Amino acid sequence: MPELTRRRTDDRLETWEIWCRDVHVGTIARQDWDPNPERSEIWKWSCGFYPLHREECFRGDAPDFETARAEFDAAWKVFLPKRTEAEFEAWRRQKQWAANKYALWDAGYRNKLGRGPIRCACGAMFNPGIHKETMAHIQHITSLAWKIA
């Protein structure tokens, strides 16, 4: 079974992301937004990742971090054997697609996406909806984004 790592996030108090190699496979977080004071000490956990369907993922509540971690571990032991390397690769492709999208937005192409071919900084035309074409030009676009910023 691949080793899991846990990383604390900076954006929310007491939130940890769970990673399997380079894929974000879950989260354990103290619920801090529920207006009901009786639920303010609830820990939420989730096990699964996009682009899987919701019904293929697991989630739950726990009274403390250690219980949430134990429940996550139990869910992971059920979840992982049903996964294929293709599903992990789909997550990686989705992450790269999102990074490409934001690089295009930063380079000024935000309103042009989805409207057919666009011109790269190198002068070539490409269709941002085709991953292979975008990957061929992402380095040009990313370096342009740094120049614009």
> What is the share, in percent, of the chain residues with pLDDT greater than 70?
79
CA proximity to 52, closest of 99, 89, 97, 16: 89
Beta strands in the chain (DSSP E): 4-8, 15-20, 23-30, 43-47, 58-62, 118-119, 125-126
Looking at residue 146, what is its pLDDT? 39
| 111 within 8 A of 128, measured Cβ to Cβ | no
74 membership: H or E segment, kind and range: helix 65-79
What's the rounded mean pLDDT across residues 86-101? 85
Q: Tell me the pLDDT tens digit for each residue of 72-91.
A: 999 999 999 999 999 999 88
Looking at residue 35, what is its pLDDT? 67
Residue 8 has pLDDT above 80, yes or no: yes
